[in-house]
Structure 1
Amino acid sequence: MTVEIMEKAHIAKNKPFYTELKKGKRYLWCSCGLSKTQPFCDQSHVGTSFKPVLTVGQYDGEEVLFCGCKQTKNAPFCDGAHNNIDDEYSSDYPNSSENKNVLEVLADENGLAMLDGGCYVSIVASVAREEHENISVGTLISEKQGAQYQSQFYLESSQGQSSVLSFSDSHVVILVTEGKGVINISGKNFFIAPEMGIYVRPNEAFCIKNTETENIKLFASVCPSAEAPKILDSMPSNFAEDYPDRTIKANSDSRNRMADRYWEVLVDKQVGCTMATQFIGEIPESKALPHRHLYEESLVILKGSGYMWTEGRKAKVTAGDIIFLPRKQVHSLQATDPEGLYLVGVIYPGDNPSINY
């Protein structure tokens, strides 16, 4: 019997290569990892089993991340595989001489700690809210605060049935952090509880039914962004039955490993959401190496404490805070709690929260 030994690609770089493409131009990505013109082929694969992978620019300025570790299953693009090369996620030393010079920023009277490049930490309890019937609404992220793709609202529902809310033709991704009850989405009821993701499709509406004395607390991310929800006189009966399942409870069996971290998708295209991805994750006590994403991201801290770092500033984060990250902003999230940080994020545009550069 002949045993075929598979050749292993050389790791050219532990991070992907950010590249802006030109429309119609052909690019040959190096798959063997031996090329001296990374991430592109220079024929170093000749004599091996590897072959370059062709991609053609779709438009001028198209932003892509070519895989540098050569372990991707989405060749030629990064799929986050570089995060699992080592058993521990790439970390930074928070007490280095360089990091000691980083300025700690405190929250202002509105509960906002502004970092570099439009990144900020917001203390949710300090945000002003508008009162409607059995529900209050506070704006956490919007175009006015620098967001391009998503807005986020804090919702708190008291006992009884709330007003009917609509975000028109936007996609709405909701996270429940406290309380139990029922959400009615365009005429269909769903039980809701903490650590549950909810998806409301464009042109649908929703209201919250709270039969308990404890308030239900939720975070609604809206893509594309909206200034505020519309308050409707009645609930429409236009529930889209092609995706009948709209609530997703966190389940440790669905975790994706990222070195010594994990993440798990809650809301994504599997329930019909093509505009954004909601995930839940855990970060052990550590500080990540500074990195960037091609997507815009919002994070809700569920448990633990730490710091959000940018180039020259850092701000404390704790349970109940939210973080807004613009596209391509250098940042690093540090967990200082021995039990780590537990959080939920929404990214747009993107479907894989492990991709970074």
Structure 2
Amino acid sequence: MTGAVIDEAAVAGRRAEDDTAETRLTIGATQGCERLEQRVTRYATGRSRSRAAGDREHVLFVVSGAGRLDLDGHAHALAANTGVYVAPGERYEVDNDGPEELVVVEVTVPGPADPGPAPGRQVTVRLDDQPVHWAGERQFRLLVDTPVGCRGATQFVGEIPTGHAPPHSHSYDEVVYVIAGEGAVHMADIEEPIGPGSCVYLPPQLLHCLENTGEATLRVLGVIQPAGDPGSKAAVSGR
């Protein structure tokens, strides 16, 4: 199975009438990703229409802007570098006080067979409050994960220094959104440039690596399914 690299700006946005949200479906079944869907939503000033989680878990990350998420009548502050968990069956609206857009990356995964609330439920998680984990010279922090009630996925933000790791694979599905920096993704003898707004799908067992080709840190948002350790590898090339 091959992966995919999509430029968010190349995907047509959709906005419903009387809604503040313009949404782009960047990764899904069209790219061969059957269980995860990644969307980038830009909220204009004002209050969005109500959005239903349905039977899927929704894992959100605020890229930029500030506002509030109203989840079943309870308000939760939104700011850059905040992870958000919306459980199956819940509804939410987003308030953006402006004047800047509120940019959110949302990944959905199938909900659990038992839709009841999980222990330790949290709605929002601040990146700055999370401990740093290391995988070689790269570091990552977990946001939405099983300890906050999400059963089917793990959300993290990774930081990649200049250079690249050996090609490797994972046992999980992974979708990536580039927050900042410049680089390239290597997979299946293909090299694609990536930068802010790049969206990447990495299926299980695909040999790949992300390379930082610039001087600044390459910051990426990742979501893996099923939930687990983003630093685990199924195989490393040459070993």
TM beyond 0.5: yes
Correspondence for 1:187: 73
Q: Which of residues 128, 136, 146 in structure 1 aligns to 2:12?
A: 128
Taking the TM superposition and a 5 Å limit, the aligned residue runs for 1:55-204 are 117-132=1-16, 133-204=19-90
- Alpha-carbon distance, 1:149 to partner: 1.7
Equivalent-residue separation in structure 2 for 1:184 and 1:241 (angstroms): 20
Q: Aligned ranges for residues 1-357 of structure 1 at < 5 Å?
A: 117-132=1-16, 133-224=19-110, 243=120, 245-251=122-128, 254-356=131-233, 357=235
Query: Which has more radius of gyration?
Result: 1
Residue aligned with 1:184, SS: strand
Residues matched between the structures, number = 228
Q: 1:178, 1:216 within 8 Å by CA — same for their partners in 2?
A: yes
Q: Give structure 1 regions of 4+ aligned residues with deviation exceeding 3 angstroms.
A: 240-244
Kindly state the Cα deviation for residue 253 of structure 1 after the two structures are TM-superposed.
5.7
Q: Assess if the C-alpha contact under 8 Å between 2:67 and 2:78 holds in 1.
A: yes
Please list the CA deviations of residues 226-267 of structure 1 after superposition, one character each: whole Å capped at 9, or x if unmatched: xxxxxxxxxxxxxx6965531111127600122221111000
5+ residue gaps, structure 2, are 112-116
Aligned to 2:114: none
Structure 2 residue identity aligned to 1:257: W
3-state SS of paired residue (1:214): coil
Residue 275 to residue 253, structure 1, CA distance change in 2 (3 Å): closer
Note if contact 1:151-1:224 (Cα within 8 Å) is conserved in structure 2.
Answer: no
Q: Once the two structures are aligned, what percentage of the paired residues are identical?
A: 27
More strand by share: 2
Letter matched to residue 292 of structure 1: S
* Aligned partner of residue 30 in structure 2, secondary structure: helix
Q: 1:242 to 1:269 in 2, by over 3 A?
A: closer
Cα distance in structure 2, aligned partners of 1:122 and 1:193 = 25
Q: Secondary structure at the match of 1:118?
A: coil
Cα distance in 2 for partners of 1:174, 1:249 equals 12
Work out the CA distance in 1 between the residues paired with 2:228 and 2:118: 23
CA contact (8 A) 2:159 2:219 kept: yes
Q: Partner of 1:229 in structure 2?
A: none
So what's the TM-score if we normalise by structure 1? 0.61
For the residue of structure 2 that corresponds to 1:125, the secondary structure is helix
Secondary structure in 2 matching 1:263: strand
Q: Measure, in 2, the Cα distance between the counterparts of 1:261 and 1:167.
A: 33
Displacement of 1:148 in angstroms is 2.1
Q: Deviations over 1:251-293 (max 9, x none)?
A: 2760012222111100001110010000111111011111110
- Residue 331 of structure 1 aligns to which amino acid in structure 2? H
Contact 2:130–2:141 under 8 Å retained in 1: no
Uncovered stretches (5+) of structure 1, i.e. residues with no partner: 1-116, 226-239
CA deviations 1:169-228 (Å, max 9, x no partner) are: 100000110100001112211000111100000111111101111110101100029xxx
Query: How far did 1:138 drift?
Result: 1.1
Deviates more, 1:194-203 or 1:241-250: 241-250
TM normalised by structure 2 equals 0.90
Which structure exhibits the higher relative contact order, with contacts defined as CA atoms closer than 8 Å and separated by 6 or more residues?
A: 2
CA RMSD of aligned residues (A): 1.8
